[in-house]
Structure 1
């Protein structure tokens, strides 16, 4: 896309009174941003209301700076290739075209070919349990090793673990973000974003310079759902953006998977709600892969489980189970004195078999 084409798309999409819906109408009527901009205002008014039709008569106040920043970003490939894809571009991902609201313009940093690769969305809570984070990493690693591209949203928690797992295999990972690609949010994922740009791809529909505005993040979930053949929800509360992604995936005819958890954990309630609505219950990555036989044949049978069922000889780990549990409950289960039990819990915590949760709760994070 040359500078003039970029300018026309930005004029159409970034004029405040226009927005996605009216821009889509204008493109359908006139065929291109250039044609919509050069059409008489009266012709535009036959397609959209007067206000947006009139607004396109002149550039927005910030347009020259936006165009310059966009072109400068696009021309700088020091951290990897950069692209702007318009709807109708041959490189535009076909899977997104099959959704109800495909982005009209996509900004991409990294490997453009990944947008057409078989993908699995892996999403979940920003505040996962230790087991949930381990599950996201293990499932994503195995799926990437089987050749699937892991698609997530670069958020803290499950998303970050999913991207790490994706980078561990040849499938790699795509991060779909809610900001312009000249920004990284959250800042704690700056290094992760750098590695994704080098070895995977980062995607956004938002123009360069767009800050992390709250309404943008639910909207970007439709891109995660649209780029993938299925979405795996690892952990999610009932009021969770992950459930939006799952709903959008289902509406687009894609598979929805959910990992069950403790009935006492708020972070499992979203997954349990999905399961009641017909999502597939998965306990291992193999459960995901069997829904896609042509790709599943590429993987081994040793898929990681959500909770390894290998028996353990440690009585305290057996007493813990896999649900969060209080010290008082453990005293009742084991009959051990509190000082001895606390010392043993600390020992298991230090070697990574037990995690200490808020509210003085403990949870087993491996099978021992």
Structure 2
């Protein structure tokens, strides 16, 4: 018999996006968890149906404010797979550059948020100060600080000006030095370790069972980096970088993975800048997409982002995206059990969920269509209730 059940959310200071976590407590310890979603559902997949390939690109860029480059990159890659189009070397490098800059921005932003969740406001401000260095690079290259809109089918919108290399390298070197000092602070600071170590542990077996991706999987000892397993456009085979793996599977390991990945992304960007050719990018031309279907995937900051598109008469007939949070969020109900209620912000925040990307599922069965959020889908169509 539980003492009481309380809802946390959908609006709560500890939650950066709306969700509702209903927890049944025995004293101060969690005995049962039920997650309710659907507060940011926008029906993106349905909206995409009937759009031509160019107008659909603008919509995919706005699915998420943190990983817009990943979404537009995955979309373009999927359409280009239908076309069997081979990109120029410079376009591949520019896309990789933007993806790694976005990874830097996402990880630094998340590290600030997790510091805020544990009450370490000073560290929160330090990380968000460093975040400005990456945003300044985005603004210099594309004119946008949040949404960058740099991709176009078969090319990119903005050519890379080699005169910007010194500015980029200066900002990245400053960020690298700061982050390396923060790695030591986070691993040794008693306050941080006490709030993160051993909290929200995901075993390697559970990470595989729940198909967790990205830094959350790598923090549990699972190799899951698409840049290594299926390099987008094969360009990543030219770069020397490491896949960061930790074995503990707790919130601290997830923080360490993201911290170390910042240094690896900076290494990749420096190699991209060395390889960047001087010749201009190909000009954009309107594209007629043949009837067909294809898939594409990229390593977004949170993990594997998977796209499926089907075209008919130069318009999207069906669109499906599998975002990293869809995989990572299912395990929350398990890892919260037996934890204190005060650990909820840390456990949920350590997974870096993005509900703006997540809430968008359509089920087609017997010719009828249902639009469901993730919680409804799990209750009706899976055994993980």
TM range (shorter): under 0.3
Specify which structure has the bigger relative contact order, considering alpha-carbon pairs within 8 angstroms and separated by 6 or more residues.
2
TM-score between both structures, scaled by the size of structure 1: 0.22
| Greater helix share, structure number | 2
Flag the structure with larger Rg.
Answer: 1
